[in-house]
Chain A
Amino acid sequence: MKARHDLAVIGAGPAGMAGATLAAELGIDVLVLDEQETPGGQIYRAVEQPGLADLAPLGPEYRRGIELALAFGRSSAELAGGAVVWQIRADRTITMTRAGEGKEVAADHVLLATGAMERPFPIPGWTLPGVMTAGAAQTLMKSAGMVAEDGVVLAGSGPLLFQLAGQYLHAGVRPGAIVETTPRRNYWNAAPHLPSAWSAGGYLEKGLALLRAIKASGVPFHRGATGLHVHGDGRANALEFQSHGKTERVETPLLLLHQGVVPNPNLAMATGIAHDWDATQLCWRPATDPWGGTNLDGIALAGDGAGIGGAVAAEHSGRLAVLEIARRMARITEGERDERATAERTALRDQLRARPFLDALYRPADAMRRPQDDATLACRCEEVTAGEIRRQARLGLTNLNSLKSQSRCGMGPCQGRLCMLTATELMAEVHGVDPAKIGPFRLRPPARPVDLNAIMGFGDGTIPPEAALPTEPNAPGAKS
Chain B
Amino acid sequence: MSESARNPEVIIIGGGIQGCSTAVHLGLKGVRALLIEKNYPGRHASGVNAGGVSRIGRFPSELPLSALSLEIWHDMESLVDDDCGFISNGRMKIAENEAEMEKLRERFNTVRALGHEHEQLIDQYELRQLEPDVAEHCVGGIYAPDCGHANPFRTTTAFARKARNLGQTIMEGVRVEKVSRAAGVWTVRTDAGEFQAPVLVNTAGAWGDRISDQMGEEVPMETIAPMLMVTARMPPIIRGVMGATDRILSIKQVPNGTIIIGGGYRGTADRDAETTVLDYKKLAYNAKIATEMFPKLKGARIVRSWAGIEGRMADAMPVISPSKTEEACFHAFGFSAHGFNLGPAVGSVLSELITAGQSNIPIDAFSIDRFAKA
Contact = CB atoms under 8 A, between A and B. Distances in A.
Interface of A: 87, 89-90, 95, 102, 272, 382, 395-399, 401-402, 405-406, 408, 411-413, 415, 444-446, 449-453, 455-460, 463-464, 466-467, 469-480
Contact of B280 (A95, A401, A402, A479): A95
Given A446-B302, A455-B284, A470 B157 contact: no
Contact of B304 (A396, A411, A476): A411
Nearest to B114: A473
Contact of B301 (A445, A449, A459, A471): A449
A480 B278 contact: no
Given A464-B281, A480-B337, A480-B338, A446 B287 contact: no
Given A469-B316, A477-B57, A479-B337, 20 more contacts: A87-B280, A382-B256, A399-B40, A405-B48, A405-B153, A415-B303, A445-B305, A449-B303, A451-B301, A452-B297, A455-B280, A464-B285, A472-B103, A476-B58, A476-B317, A478-B226, A478-B263, A478-B337, A479-B226, A479-B264
B190 interface: no
Interface residues of B, number: 81
B110 interface: yes
Contacts of B208: none
The 9 A-B residue pairs with the shortest CB-CB distance, nearest first, are A478-B264, A405-B153, A477-B57, A459-B284, A458-B284, A480-B338, A479-B337, A452-B300, A473-B107
B110 to A, nearest CB: 5
A89 B277 contact: yes
A473 B93 CA distance: 12
15 contacts: A87-B278, A87-B280, A102-B284, A402-B42, A411-B230, A451-B299, A452-B231, A452-B287, A459-B284, A464-B282, A469-B316, A472-B107, A479-B250, A479-B264, A480-B342
B203 interface: no
B111 interface: yes
A476 B334 CA distance: 13
A396 B161 contact: yes
Interface stretch (B122-130, B211-219, B239-247): B239-247
Nearest to B306: A444
A146 to B, nearest CB: 27
B299 A452 contact: yes
A279 to B, nearest CB: 23
A415 B305 CA distance: 11
B310 to A, nearest CB: 9
Interface string B256-291: 100000111110000000010111111111011011
A466 B305 contact: no
B371 interface: no
A398 B42 CA distance: 13
Nearest to A396: B161
Nearest to B157: A406
Contacts of B62: 476
Interface in B96-126: 103-104, 106-107, 110-111
A376 B9 CA distance: 46
B196 interface: no
A397 B285 CA distance: 36
Interface of B: 40, 42-43, 47-54, 56-60, 62, 93, 103-104, 106-107, 110-111, 153-154, 157, 161, 164, 172, 226, 229-232, 243, 245-248, 250, 256, 262-266, 275, 277-285, 287-288, 290-291, 297-306, 316-317, 335-342
B243 A402 contact: no
A104 B170 CA distance: 44
- For B56, B250, B302, the residue with the greatest tally of chain A CB atoms inside 10 Å of its CB is B302
A479 B263 contact: yes
A451 B264 contact: no
Nearest to B58: A476
Contacts of A480: 49-54, 335, 337-342
A444 B304 contact: yes
B265 A466 contact: yes
A395 B278 contact: no
B246 A471 contact: yes
Contact of A444 (B40, B250, B278): B278
Contact of A475 (B49, B59, B279): B59
Contact of B247 (A399, A450, A467, A475): A467
A456 B93 CA distance: 23
A302 B57 CA distance: 51
A478 B248 contact: yes
- For B52, B107, B283, the residue with the greatest tally of chain A CB atoms inside 10 Å of its CB is B283
